[in-house]
Amino acid sequence: MGKVVIVGSINVDMVFTSKVRPKAGETVLGEEFSIIPGGKGANQAVAASKLGAESYMIGCVGNDSNGEFSINNLTNMNVSTDCIDSTNEATTGVANIVVAENDNSIIVIAGSNYKITKNTIDKYKDVILSADIVLLQLEIPIDIVEYTAEICKKNNVDVLLNPAPAIELKKSLIENVTYITPNEHELKIILGKHDNIDEIIRKYPNKLIVTMGAKGVKYFDGIDMKLIPSYNVEVVDTTGAGDTFCGGLAAALVRGDNIEDAIKFANKAAALSITKLGAQSGMPTLEQLL
């Protein structure tokens, strides 16, 4: 088991399932409602844990029932919660998720996720530096992402950055991380480019790993452009697919897989995740992939 340390968001997801997505000003009758644990950071921590890694979560929740619910869930998922702080200054982050027409739409309220500070990172620096890989996303303040990546770079700790929700990234952040996993839409935003996708990927060999849904996953190995094909599965809920991919990729890399095998493993895990409802509950276990 390798060690994955996740610095990121912890949310509670409120999921509305409907056959159709309401248009502006429209009300529709839905089918189901559920409250489930979420947040890209927490989701990826659970995915890494389920897929065989030793998983540690660094984050912040509110002193409220949602925070207690989130910590209990992570503990039950074998994710270490010793580095999760709580605050009275904000409520635990929440996400409103509408699942309809084989896709999802999400509104996120950051809440306590934006109470993570540089002092938080300094407090848990020893844990971060003990990682085989550090997993970051963009649902916490960008300066905290940049600060964490800089510390890891200086100490030769690998970093996997999932740039979502996407913003244009500083050149220094791109240089400080080992792997970046955008989808096609996020790719052009984070780099501020509008080139051909293959041309962009070629500029970052073995760093840019671009997920393209049903079209598969692309990266450049320094010699050849690689396309890892997707799996044809019945789509139930795509909510956790990207997080499953990132957690699975981290878990495979820290156990020693090469980059191609790690991507294949993560791609299979992500495919299985969309056959079930719920981000974390739909994530497969290592046993289900072997």
31's tokens: 């089918």
At 70-107, the pLDDT tens digits run: 999 999 999 999 999 999 999 999 988 898 988 888 88
- Contact between 241 and 270 under an 8 Å Cβ cutoff? The reply is yes
Q: Which of 122, 243, 257, 261 is catalytic?
A: 243
Looking at residue 289, its pLDDT comes to 83
The predicted model gives 42-64 an average pLDDT of 97
Secondary structure class of 29 (helix, strand, coil) = coil
- Enumerate domains of the chain plus CATH numbers: 3-10+40-92+111-289 (3.40.1190.20)
pTM exceeding 0.85: yes
Looking at residue 168, its pLDDT comes to 95
CB neighbourhood size of 206 (10 A)? 15
Looking at residue 235, its pLDDT comes to 79
d(CA 19, CA 30): 7
DSSP state of 88: S
Q: Taking 90 as the threshold, does the pLDDT of residue 137 lie above it?
A: yes
Secondary structure class of 35 (helix, strand, coil) = strand
158-161 and 3-7 strand pairing = unpaired
Looking at residue 21, its pLDDT comes to 92
20's tokens: 């159709």
- When the pLDDT of each residue in the chain is averaged and rounded to a whole number, the result is 93
Looking at residue 46, its pLDDT comes to 97
Looking at residue 260, its pLDDT comes to 97
Instruction: Dihedral sign for Cα 243, 247, 253, 258, please.
Output: negative
Looking at residue 106, its pLDDT comes to 82
The predicted model gives 7-29 an average pLDDT of 94
Q: Give the contacts of 203 (CB within 8 A, at least 6 positions apart).
A: none
Looking at residue 29, its pLDDT comes to 96
Looking at residue 91, its pLDDT comes to 97
- Contact between 4 and 56 under an 8 Å Cβ cutoff? The reply is yes
At 192-239, the pLDDT tens digits run: 877 788 999 999 999 999 999 889 999 999 999 999 998 888 777 677
- What does the DSSP assignment read for 142-172? HHHHHHHHHHHHHTT-EEEE---S--PPPHH
At 160-194, the pLDDT tens digits run: 999 999 999 999 999 999 999 999 999 989 998 77
- Indicate if 243 belongs to the active site: yes
CB neighbourhood size of 1 (10 A)? 12
**Residue that the structure tokens 């509110």 belong to:** 62
Q: Taking 80 as the threshold, does the pLDDT of residue 278 lie above it?
A: no
Q: Taking 90 as the threshold, does the pLDDT of residue 33 lie above it?
A: yes
At 100-136, the pLDDT tens digits run: 988 888 888 999 999 999 999 999 999 999 999 999 9
d(CA 58, CA 10): 9
